[in-house]
A and B are shown apart, each in its own frame.
Chain A
């Protein structure tokens, strides 16, 4: 799979996990320490993916 394609899906999937966090914590969106850790990981994954996508498109 082309890196740019892979990273686009990785970003979408990481955002989907964040979407799931919204669903689980609505309406206060207060996160448990575990959820906070997951959120940070997913945000980092989206950022990494975006950087690669930007670079790959040249």
Chain B
């Protein structure tokens, strides 16, 4: 195929069943792909940007209503589209934390969250998981007490995932929020792996902030994400500029400081908006996605040497498994660890990290039952061909 200049055309999603862990729920809908075609030009969203010149006030295309709908979607008061969940973490951390403060994350917390805290000048401390690889409310309370004892101050923020990115285990988010609030500590709900794939009700959970990832879980292009919050925090985190130039005296209206004015514009935003009705619908079918995930993992567990490292039965479509059997085969195979991805590739399946045969992650989100069965059968076939038993 003719490349675009020297850029290869990406046909992974058209030719392969893709079980790559972070790509599954960010796959675009057809409407999002159409939006990219129509809105690819740089400032395409700004044709009718009228006073007060802010992205979330634009009505054509209707970005203003989208922002409102987004807040309703996660049941919070205010929402902004951000260039990825990490920029949402950053906006919250820069607003709430200062040098010498402490913020708590989980031992499975994403690195970008740790960096956002570091950037604010605060330090991050980790809440350890229990023997089931779960973060509990009790461990959260213990860590809060420990920080208080060691520093003389309570942490200023607890940032906690609902499902983490390493194992996609479900943590005690509601109780963790309750504990944080007992100490009057605000809680940032990290929904990078939930917002857009399953129903999330921020108010019901009691979260102060809800963060989501557009390109991870909302069928949107990168970089997109969501930062939603309660009214109480909006004034602080979404504060508007009040400085003026010393030479010119110029001011910048109602631009929001932490957001550096306008955030995600153009094609990524409009594509996210185009996918949104589909996303609103698809979260209603999360149970079915989890059923497919469990079916697939059950089939994988039939292969000699395979264990599920994530909690099991699965509550999510992202799973970490150990395929010790395939790892044994790799040791003597002429392609070494690459034999598995090579065999999968022949069957038009992609996603596992190239060369990985022992511990690796996969995500079945969005695959049809037919594709799930095909992929499971392909793994069985490769196992048998490699001399492994399939029960």
Contacts and interface: CB of A to CB of B under 8 A. Distances in A.
A27 B33 contact: no
Contact of B348 (A19, A23, A26): A26
A9 B37 CA distance: 8
Contact of A27 (B27, B37, B348): B348
A-side binding surface: helix, strand, loop or mixed?
A: helix
B62 to A, nearest CB: 19
* Tier of interface size on chain B: 10 to 19
A26 B15 contact: yes
* Tier of interface size on chain A: 10 to 19
Interface in A1-17: 9, 12-13, 16-17
A27 B15 contact: yes
Given A16-B30, A17-B30, A23 B37 contact: no
Interface of A: 9, 12-13, 16-17, 19-20, 22-24, 26-28
B14 interface: yes
B158 interface: no
B16 A19 contact: no
Interface in B282-339: none
Contacts of B16: 26-27
24 contacts: A9-B37, A12-B37, A13-B34, A13-B37, A16-B30, A16-B33, A16-B37, A17-B30, A19-B14, A19-B30, A19-B33, A23-B13, A23-B27, A24-B368, A26-B14, A26-B15, A26-B16, A26-B17, A26-B348, A27-B16, A27-B17, A27-B348, A27-B349, A27-B374
